[in-house]
Amino acid sequence: MLAGALGLAGVAAAFFLCERERFWINWVLWFLFLLTTGLGSLFLVALEHVVGARWSVPLRRVPETIAGLVPPMGAAALVGLLSLGTLYPWTSAEGLRDPLVAAKAGWLNEPFFALRAAACVLLWTVSYVVLVGGSRRQDQTGDPRFNRRARRFAPLFMVILGLTVTVTAFDWISSLEPVWYSDIFGVYVFAGAFLAGLAATTLFTLHLRDAGRLDGVGPDHLHNLGGFLFAFTVFWAYIGFAQYLLMWYANIPEEVFWYGERLHGAWGGILLALALLHFLVPFLILIPRDAKSRPRLLFGVALLMLAMHWLDLYWMLFPSVAGGPLFGWPELSFALLFLSGGIWWVRRLMDRGEAMPVGDPFLREGLEFRL
Amino acid sequence: MNPAQGPFSVLGVFDTPDALLEAIGKVKGRTGHRLEAYTPYPVHGLDRALGYRKSPIGGMVFVMGLVGALSALVLELWTSGWDYPLVTAGKPVVSWEAFVPILFEITVLFAALTAGLGMLLLLNRLPALRHPMLRSRSMALLTRDRFGLAVESAGEPLDPEALALLLEDAGAAAIEVVERPPAPGPASPKLLAAALGAILLACLAAAGTTYWGIKLFPRLIPMAHMLDQPRLDPQSGSSFFADGSGMRPPVAGTVSQGAPPRPLPNAEASEGLVNPLPGSAAVFRRGRAAYDTHCAVCHGLLGNGEGSLTDAYGARPTHLTAGAGRELSDGAIYHVIVSGKNAMPPYSSDLTEEERWAAVHYVRVLERALDALDTDFQGGAR
Amino acid sequence: MTGPAAAARASILESLRPPPVLQGPVRIGDLDDQLLTPVGRRPPLAWFIAFGVTSTAALLGIVLILYTIATGIGVWGNNIPVAWAFDIINFVFWVGIGHAGTLISAILLLFRARWRNSISRFAEAMTIFAVICATLFPLIHVGRPWLAFWLAPYPNQRGMWPNFRSPLLWDVFAVNTYFLISLLFWYIGLIPDLASLRDRTPPGARRFVYSVLSLGWRAASSHWHHYERAYLVIAGLATGLVLSVHSVVSFDFAVSLVPGWHMTIFPPYFVAGAVFAGFAMVVMAMVVVRSTMHLEHLITAYHLDMMNRVILACSCLMGYAYLLEGFTAWYSMNPSIHHTFRQYIGGTYGLAGWITIVCNVVIPQLLWLRWFRRNIAGMVFVSLAVTVGMWFERFVIIVSSLHQDFLSSSWHVYRPTLVDYGILLGSFGLFFSLVLLFARVLPVIATTEMKMVLPGAQPRSGKGER
C-alpha cells in the first residue's frame, strides 16, 4: 500500500517535473510489461484448452488470475495513446521529413494507430471474459459445457493473440524507430510475453502453494512448469539470436542501426546481461531433471526471468529516446506504482474466489497427474 | 575369465507386471544374490522396486556436450581466426555470431552420441551376443508379453532348488534354471584356416582396389569439357606460327615498366658491372621474391639447376651455386638475365632493373648459404 | 441433477476426453503377432507393383544423375542469375519432409502425447529416407561430387580450411548431424523390436541377422533403466536439433541481401513449413499403411485427426508468416523488395505464388471441419495440396526471387529441363522405394512402445506414489 502510494506520488511528480518523453516512455514500458505478462498467462490458459492438457487443470486459476491484468493494462494502453505525439517520430513534421517514414504514413498515422490499439484491447478483453469469466462461473455450476466452449474458442484466441501481439509489437515498440523493420519482431515479443506469463504463473503458484491454497499440487506439476520455463527460454533465445544474426550478417543500414544503438556503451552491457540472465543462466540451472521441481530454485529462476523480461522491454524501448540507460527516481516511482498495483490487483482477484477451478470436471485427473 | 560353476540364474516367469512387482517385494533382500527383472517394455516402478540409482546418462551427456562445444569453438577459432584467416563478406575473421550454428550442431552431436552409444556400449555392455539369458527357453516370452524375475549369480554358486521354491512362493507361473553357455572351445583348424584365408583374400582385394584406385582415379576427369576448348594451352605448339610455338615472345628489346631503357651491354662489357644495390635484408627479400617467381622453376629453389620444370623441359639449367655457375661474376649473371643464354629466354621484359640486381644478390646469398665461408660464422671457424 | 441433464453432461465429458490410443481389446502378445508377422514375409502382389513403379522412377533418377555428372550441370535449366533452382528447391523440400519424424518422435514424446506411439516408427523412417533424398541434391549441385569431402574440416595438403562463416557449411554440419542423430534415435527405438523379432524367428540366417542387429538385447530391467533415460535425453536434444536444422537451411537464404530472401522471420517460418510438409507426407503414408496392412485399430481416426490438427496449426503459422512477409515487404519501403514481392504473385511465376498461398493457407483451413479431419479422401486431398504447395513455396522463394535481381540487364527466365523434372521424379521414386522396403523388412509400428500404452500394461500399484 505504502509503496503504491509512494509510487503514485512519484509518478504524479514525474508527470509535472520530468521531460514528457521520459514520463511517457516509462508509461509505455510499464503497461507493456504487465500487459505482456497477462497475455502470456492467457495464452497458457488457451494452450491447456487446445491440447486438452489435464495436468495443468489444478494450476489453471493462477494464469487465469494473472490474465486479469489484461483489462486494466488495456486501459493503460489507451491512456498511453496520449504519448504518440511525444514519443513517436512519425507523428512530427520533423520525423516525416525522412521519405522512408513519410511513405509509411498509410500505416503509421495517429487515427489508425489508435484504432488498432483499441481493437486489440477490445479483442483481449472479450477473450478474457470468455476464457476466464466462464471458468469462474464454472466454480459454482460445474457445467462441463464451459470446457467445450473454451476448447472451441481457444484456437481462435490463439489466432487473435498472434495477430494482436504482432500489431502491438510493431506499433508500440518497433515504430519508435519508424525506419526499422523486422518481420520476426512480433514472434520475439510473443516469446518474451509467453515466458513472462510462465514465470509469473510459476511465481504465483509457488506462493499460493506455500500459503496452502493449492493442495495436491506436487513436484510433478512443478516439474512440468520448470520444463516449460526451460523450453521457452531456449525458444526466446533462438528467436532473439535469429533476428540478431540475420541483421548482423546482412548489415543493411535500415536494419542494423537498431542494433547499433542497442549494442554500444551501456546498452551493450544490458544486451549481454539479457543473453546471460534471460537465457544462459536459467538454461544451465534448469538442465538437471531434479532442478525443475525444486520450489526454491524454481522461484528464483522465475523471478529472474520476469525481471529479465522487464529488462528486455527496457532495452528495446529506452534507446529510442535516451542516449544512455536511465534509471532515476521517475523510473523507481513507476516501478513502485505498477508493481504494487499489479500485485494488489492480482491478489484481489485471487482472494475473491477459489484458487483452483473447483468446478472443472477434470480437476481430479489433474491432481492425480504423475510423471 | 571367472571359471564360474553351476547355473547362471534361476528365473521365475510372471503373467502380469503387478505380479512381478509383488514378487520383487517378496524376494528382495532374501537371497544374497543379484536380482534382475526382464520385461518386454519398460515397466513403471521397477527402478524403485529394484533400488536402482539414478542413471548417470544426464551427467555424461552434459560433460560430453561441453566437450563438443569447446572442440567446435576451438576448431572454428583456430582455423578461421589463426591458421587460415580469410576475409569473406566483410566480416571479421573471428565472428562469434557466425560460429554459433556449428557450435550448436557439434554440441548436440557429441551429446546425443554420448547418450545413445554410451547407453548401449558403456552402461548396458552391449553387444552381448553370448549372454546366458539369450539361451533361455523363456526369452521368447520375455520379449513378448511375460515378465521375468531372475536371481542371478555373479560367479558365486546358486542353490537352484531353494531359489525355485522362493520364486514359486512369490507367485511365479513358471520356473527355469538358466545354465551358463559352454565355454568357447578352441576353434577347429578348418575354421581357423578358413578365417585366415578370408582375411588374406580381403587384404588382397583391399590392396588391389586401393592400388588401382589411386593409380586410375586421378586420371579420370569427368566433365573435361571446360578443358576441351579451341585455344592454345601455355607451352603448347602451333603450326600457325612460323616458329611452331604457340606462345609469342615479346617484341625484341622489350623491357618491363619501370626499367630505364638503356643499351644492352655485351657479355664482355657486362663482366665488370658492379651490383649497385646494397646487400641489405630488404634487398635480399626482394631478390628472393624475384628469384622464386621467375628463376626457381628451372634453376630450382636452391639454385642447383633442379627446378620443377627441368624434367619436363629437357634442358639442363646452370647449377648456380657450384662449379662454373659459382664462378660467374655479378655482371655476367645480370647479363644473362637481361639477354638470355642458350635455351633461357631474356627476362628483361619481366624484371625491373632493381629486381634483376636484387636477384643477383639473392643468388649470391644462396651460394653462401649452401657453402658458407668460415668467416660467415660468429667467432670465425669452428 | 435430473436424468437428461446428467446424460448430457456425461456426453459432453465423453466428447472432451481423448479416445483410447487403440481401438478394441488388444492383448500385449497379439501386438507381436500382428505387427511382427508380416516382417520378412513374401509381400502381396500390390507391393511388387508399387515397388516396380517406384524403383523404376528411382532408376530413372539415378541414370539422369549419372548423365548430369558425366556431362555437367549445364544439362539443368539453372543459369545466372537463377543459379539455384530445382536442386536447392528439392533439397529444402526433402529436408522439410524429414522434419515430421523427429517432431513426432521427440517433441511429442516430451509432451507425452501418447498418440505418437503408433506413428513414430514410420515417421522416423521417413525422416531418414527424406534426408537421404535431400543430401543428394546439394551433392550433385556442387558439380564435382567426388570432391565434396573438401567440405570436411581436416588438415590437408591444400593448406585450406572450410569457411566456418559460410551458411552453406553450417548446412553441411546441420544436415549430417541431423541424419546421424535421427538414425541413432531410430535404431535405438528398433532394438527391442529386433529382439522380439529374433525370438520369434526359427534358427537360421534371418535369426542370426536379427540377433546381431539387436545387439543381444535381453530386455533386462537394468538395461531399460538406462535405455529410457537415454531415449528421453536424445529426444530433448533432437528437439533442439530439429529447430536448428531448418533454421540453418533458412540461413542459406536469409543472411544474404537478396530481396525476398533476407527476412528475419525465415528461421521459425522454415521450421513451421517443414513440419507442415512432413506431417502431410506422414498422413498420406499412414493412410496407405493402415489400410493395406490392416492396422486400422492401431492407427485410428483419432491419430489421423491429431495429425491433421498439427497440419492445421502449421497452416495458420504459414498464413501468419506470409502475411508478415507481405506486410514487412511493404513496410520496408525498399523498392527492390517491393519489386520482388510483385513478382511473387504477378510476374512470370505468379501462378506459383498463388498455388503456394492457396495450397498452404486456404485449402488446409478445411481441416477446421471435423469431417475433413476424419475423412480419408478429405485429408488425402489436403495433404496432397500441402505437399504441392510446399514444393511451390520453395520454388517461389528461390526462383522468383532470383530471376530478376538488382541488375536488370541480367534478368532471366528460368525454365527447368527434362533432366530437372526427371531427377525430381527420381527422388520421389527413391524415397518411396526405401519406404516400401522398410515396410517389408522392419516392423512399421514401434511394437514395444505400443505395448507400453496398452490398458493393463503398467502396474496399478506403480501409479499414485512417488
For the segment A269-323, what is each residue's pLDDT rounded down to a tens digit? 999 999 999 999 999 999 998 899 999 999 999 999 999 999 999 999 999 988 7
Cα dihedral across residues C221, C225, C231, C232: positive or negative: positive
Q: Is A167 exposed, middle or buried (0-12, 13-18, 19+ CB in 10 A)?
A: middle
Residue with cell 495443468: A56
Chains linked to A by 3 or more Cβ pairs within 8 Å: B, C
Report the pLDDT value the prediction gives residue B4, as an integer from 0 to 100.
62
CA distance B298 to B336: 14
Contact B143 C199 (CB under 8 A): yes
pLDDT band at B379 (very low <50, low <70, confident <90, very high): low
Best of A239, A245, A280, A371 to disrupt the B interface (most B CBs within 10 Å) is: A245
Q: What is the pLDDT of residues C46-101, one digit of tens each?
A: 999 999 999 999 999 999 999 998 888 889 999 989 999 999 999 999 999 999 88
Q: From chain C, pick out residues whose CB is under 8 angstroms from the CB of B124.
A: 222-223, 226-227
Residues 37-76 of chain B whose Cβ lies under 8 A from any Cβ of chain C? 37-47, 50, 52, 55, 57-58, 61, 75-76
Separation of CA C81 from chain center? 30
**Contacts for C309 with CB less than 8 Å, ≥ 6 apart:** C367, C373
Top pLDDT among C360 and B181 is at: C360
CA distance A311 to A305: 10
Give the nearest partner residue to A104 out of C321, C324, C333, using CB atoms: C333
Q: From chain A, pick out residues whose CB is under 8 angstroms from the CB of C265.
A: 183-184, 187
Top pLDDT among C14 and A70 is at: A70
Task: Check residue B243 and report its DSSP letter.
Answer: T
Cβ(C122)–Cβ(C282) below 8 Å: yes
Numbered ranges of CATH 1.10.760.10 in chain B: 267-376
Structural domain boundaries of chain C?
41-153+161-448
Q: What is the pLDDT of residues B3-51, one digit of tens each?
A: 567 889 999 999 999 999 999 999 988 888 999 999 999 998 898 899 9
Structural domain boundaries of chain A?
2-367
Residues 170-189 of chain B whose Cβ lies under 8 A from any Cβ of chain A? none
Q: From chain C, pick out residues whose CB is under 8 angstroms from the CB of B61.
A: 233, 237
Which residues face B150 on adjacent strands?
B11, B36
Contact C71 B80 (CB under 8 A): no
Contact A251 B97 (CB under 8 A): no
Residue with cell 534448469: A286
Best of C324, C368, C370, C466 to disrupt the A interface (most A CBs within 10 Å) is: C324
3-class DSSP state of C300: coil
Q: Residue C15: closest CA among chain A residues belongs to which residue?
A: A148
CB-based contact, A129 to chain C, within 8 Å: no
Q: From chain B, pick out residues whose CB is under 8 angstroms from the CB of A248.
A: 97
Between chain A and chain B, how many beta carbons pairs sit less than 8 Å apart? 15
Cβ(B169)–Cβ(B25) below 8 Å: no
CB-based contact, A19 to chain C, within 8 Å: no
Best of A107, A159, A181, A234 to disrupt the C interface (most C CBs within 10 Å) is: A181
Q: Residue C466: closest CA among chain A residues belongs to which residue?
A: A370
Cβ(C166)–Cβ(B95) below 8 Å: no
CB-based contact, A220 to chain C, within 8 Å: yes
Q: What is the pLDDT of residues B127-173, one digit of tens each?
A: 998 899 998 999 999 999 899 999 998 888 888 999 999 999 999 99
Q: What is the pLDDT of residues B54-100, one digit of tens each?
A: 899 999 999 999 999 999 999 999 999 999 998 888 899 999 999 99
CA distance B368 to C50: 80
Q: Residue B150: closest CA among chain C residues belongs to which residue?
A: C220
**AA letter at B40:** P
Taking Cα atoms as reference points, which of C275, C238, C217 lies closest to residue C98? C275
**Contacts for B8 with CB less than 8 Å, ≥ 6 apart:** B132, B133, B152, B153, B178, B179, B180
Provide the grid cell at B206.
583391399
CA distance A176 to A162: 21
Q: From chain B, pick out residues whose CB is under 8 angstroms from the CB of A245.
A: 97-98, 100
The fold of the C41-153+161-448 domain, in CATH, is: Formate dehydrogenase/DMSO reductase fold (1.20.1630)
Contact A248 B58 (CB under 8 A): no
pLDDT band at B1 (very low <50, low <70, confident <90, very high): very low
Residue B262 pLDDT > 70, yes or no? no
Stretches in chain C below the pLDDT threshold 70: 1-2, 25, 461-466
3-class DSSP state of C76: coil
For chain C, helix (H) and strand (E) counts, in that order, are 19, 0
Percent of chain A with pLDDT over 90: 78
Contact B47 C229 (CB under 8 A): no
Q: What is the pLDDT of residues A21-50, one digit of tens each?
A: 999 999 999 999 999 999 999 999 999 999
Work out the minimum CA distance from A251 to partner chain B, whole angstroms: 10
* B267-376 classified as CATH 1.10.760.10: yes
Residues 64-103 of chain C whose Cβ lies under 8 A from any Cβ of chain B? 69-72
Contact A249 B100 (CB under 8 A): no
Taking Cα atoms as reference points, which of B306, B283, B301 lies closest to residue B291? B301
Contact B36 C221 (CB under 8 A): yes
